[in-house]
Amino acid sequence: MRPDPILRIDTAFFWEACERGEFVAQKCGPCDILWHPPRPMCPKCHNTEKEVQQLSGLGTVVSWCVAVRPQAFGFEESPIAALIELDEGLRFVSNIEGVAEEDMQPGIRVQVAFADTSGGKKVPVFKPVSE
Amino acid sequence: MSKTNNQAAIVGIGQTEFSKDSGRSEQQLAAEAVIAACKDAGINPEEIDGCITYTIDNSDEVDLLRSVGCKELNYTVRLPQGGAANAATLYHAKNAVESGVCDVVVIWRAMNERSQYRFGQPTVSISPDANSSTFIEWCFPFGAQTPASWEALSCGQYLSKYGVTSEDLGNIAVLMRKHAATNPNAWFYQQPITLEEHQNSRWIVKPWLRLLDCCQESDGGVAIIVARMDKAKDLKQTPARLLSAQYSFLFNHEIISDFYEGDLTGLPFSERVTEKLIEDAGIAPKDTDVAMIYDNFTPQVLRQLEGFGYCGPGEAKDYIADGNMELDGKTPLSPNGGLIGEGYIHGMNNITEAVRQIRGIAANQVENVETAFVASGVAGAILGK
């Protein structure tokens, strides 16, 4: 089954939000800039007071791949991994569910959902935007 | 450019055999490669006073001192960014000897990445208190767990935008294996491939990387000795002068999982390195006689050819197909067969080939070589006679 996320001091807020079904990003309040991956300090103003902002959960597929050999560790079957450009301008690696491999292409509009991990945690995955 | 006598040069190169099962420790491979490089140069290992390797090399500086008998190191450096460090080692070695901090610097990389561990397979454990490694943390729970997966996500936008096909990528693999086929030092010596064989090779990561798009996993060690020209003139070999070596590590960029900043269809750090090389040495990479371009995966060659200025955006697939990088072409690409054909010692064997080309002793010697370019994404070096 899907491996658990790795919680680190500077990034635990993200994975803990997933537990609540929230898809979030680190935000520097004074700069009003979102950052991903999270980091201990805003690189613009050096503020260490981090806000957490809920994201729309909408994005567009930039690129995708499927590990054939070796198969993805921990999964029964390798998932479709994708780089997604979020509507807020951040990029995020996740999975695409509900699209057949042969139908994958850049530009597919997707929205966030949550998937369970082997240790009972949750991670964000993406599905096609329902018309 | 430095005054000739102060200028750094590669004065010795050494290696072990490249295999799939070395049968000895990585520490021994490192020591053997260093001693081979010293013998090649005509330098006593006691003279080594600086050393450089990668952060992820498993041999320690202590191991080096113990095994090869260096007396005193006054300079040790380890470089980040995995294989992208390979040309950057020359940048640091050059600075170390030209500043006078060191007289003789050794660079090494040794790995049993086939027999002892599998470099291309998923990293299955990471400690939460390990150093920051987003390619694990932000990819692992989504099944993107190998260098090939990260490469596929990274290159996808470029390949889609310019309509690069698997056959286009296959042309690069065929070229590398053609060069390796006539290089007795290559693992794939006498084993050329056809485009059809490339197309029939199994998928590693769909939809971009087949087995023959990937570099090898190799066991072996490589070492390089750098000194100033004032010392080089008394040594055994024709020195390969480091006309320039440059490095550019840009904001918010990463190693192979470089997904988060800017336009993914270009390589801005390679463009920066090119600017710095031209400013420093007065020579552009495309105007050198041999191109040693880091070929961990075939798409990386295309993006680097554009980033380092060999051709314009989207033109690299045709630049290769038109024969520009054949042995008798405008700028031959990795006459040793590169990391795909010769072996994958994390890029270091592309530096030793550049030195052989400058010396005029390579298995696939290009005619009239005066300069050679060695590139690994974030770093590049121009070698010359």
The domains found in chain B, sorted by start residue, are 4-116+215-384 (3.40.47.10)
Q: Among B171, B163, B265, which residue's Cα sits nearest to residue B213?
A: B171
For B314, left (φ over 0), alpha (ψ -120 to 50), or beta?
left
Q: Show which residues on chain B lie within 8 Å of chain A, measured between beta carbons.
A: 121-122, 124, 126, 128-129, 132, 134, 136-146, 148-149, 152-157, 160, 202-208, 211, 251-252, 257, 259-260, 264
Which residue out of B129, B134, B142 would a mutagenesis test of the A interface target, given it has the greatest number of A Cβ atoms within 10 Å? Answer: B142
From chain B, pick out residues whose CB is under 8 angstroms from the CB of A123.
Answer: 141-142
Contacts for A29-32 with beta carbons within 8 Å, 24 or more apart? none
pLDDT tens per residue, chain B (385 residues)?
Answer: 456 778 999 999 999 999 999 999 999 999 999 999 999 999 999 999 999 999 999 999 998 899 999 999 999 999 988 888 899 999 999 999 999 999 999 999 999 999 998 888 886 666 655 565 677 789 999 999 999 999 999 999 999 999 999 999 999 999 999 999 999 999 999 999 999 999 999 999 999 999 999 999 999 999 999 999 999 989 999 999 999 999 999 999 988 889 999 999 999 999 999 999 999 999 999 999 999 999 999 999 999 999 999 999 999 999 999 999 999 999 999 999 999 999 999 999 999 999 999 999 999 999 999 999 999 999 999 999 9
Angle at which helices B298-307 and B147-161 pack, to 10 degrees?
50
Sign, CA dihedral B89-B249-A9-A74, equals: negative
B307 CA to centre of own chain: 16
B146:A70 CB<8 A: yes
pLDDT of residue B130: 59
Q: Where are the alpha helices (DSSP H) in chain A?
A: 12-19
Query: pLDDT per residue over A59-106, tens digit each?
Result: 999 999 999 999 999 999 999 999 999 999 999 999 999 999 999 999
Q: Which residues of B touch A101 (CB under 8 A)?
A: 206
Residue B117 is among the residues annotated as catalytic for this protein: no
Measured between alpha carbons, how far is residue A22 from residues A15, A82, A93 in Å?
9, 20, 16
How far apart CA A74 and CA A55 sit, in angstroms, is 28
| Packing angle of the helix pair B298-307, B166-181 (nearest 10 deg) | 90
Q: Scanning the structure block, which residue is given the tokens 């090939």?
A: B148
User: Which of B121, B126, B138 to mutate to test binding with chain A, by most A CBs within 10 Å of its CB?
Assistant: B138
Of the candidates A8, A36, A73, the beta carbon closest to that of B124 is on: A73
* Least Cα separation, residue B253 to chain A (angstroms): 11
Domain segments of chain A as ranges? 12-128
Cα distance between residue B65 and residue B71, in whole Å: 7
Task: Round to whole Å and give the CA distance between B232 and B236.
Answer: 8
B17 — phi, psi (to 5°)?
Answer: -70, 155
Dihedral angle at the C-alpha atoms of A44, A50, A54, A58, nearest 10 degrees? 30
> Which ipTM score applies to this complex?
0.97
Q: What percent of chain A has pLDDT over 70?
A: 99
Å from B266 to nearest chain A CA?
14
For residue B90, give the 3-state DSSP assignment: helix
- Hey, what are A11's tokens? 């990034």
> Cβ–Cβ of A95/B251 closer than 8 Å?
no
User: Could you give the CA distance from residue A30 to residue A43 in angstroms, rounded to a whole number?
Assistant: 12
**Residue-level pLDDT at B304:** 98
What are the counts of helices (DSSP H) followed by strands (DSSP E) for chain A? 1, 8
Beta-bridged to residue A123, according to DSSP, are A115
R_g (Cα) of chain A, nearest Å:
15
- Report the length, in residues, of chain B: 385
Could you tell me which of B349, B354, B360 has the C-alpha nearest to residue B383? Answer: B354
- What phi, psi does B235 have (nearest 5°)? -100, 180
Who among A37, A67, A79 is closest to B146 (CB)? A67
Distance CA B49, CA B68 (A): 12
Side chain identity at residue B306, one-letter code: E
Is the CB of residue B332 less than 8 Å from the CB of residue B290? yes
Q: State phi, psi for A50 to the nearest 5 degrees.
A: -100, 135
> How many angstroms separate the CA atoms of B357 and B366, rounded?
7
Q: Nearest to residue B284, comparing CAs of B305, B263, B314, B313?
A: B305
Is residue B294 part of the annotated active site? The answer reads: yes
CB contact under 8 A, B142 and A95: yes
Question: Which residue in the set B122, B137, B157 is minimally distant from A11, CB to CB?
Answer: B137
- The whole-number pLDDT of residue B39 equals 98
The DSSP result for A23-49, as a single string, is -EEEEETTTTEEESS--SS-TTT----
Of B179, B176, B290, B276, nearest to B240 by C-alpha is: B290
Interface contact flag, A5 B141, Cβ < 8 Å: yes
Number of neighbours of residue B250 by Cβ within 10 angstroms:
14
Tokens (6 digits) for B157: 């936008």
Angle at alpha carbon of residue B7, lines to B4 and B8, rounded to 5°: 145
Asked if A52 contacts B276 with a C-beta cutoff of 8 angstroms, the reply is no
Q: Do B206 and A65 touch (CB under 8 A)?
A: yes
What gap in Å lies between CA B236 and CA B91, rounded to an integer? 23
For the stretch A42-63, pLDDT in tens is 999 999 999 999 999 999 999 9
Instruction: Give the pLDDT score at A7.
Output: 86
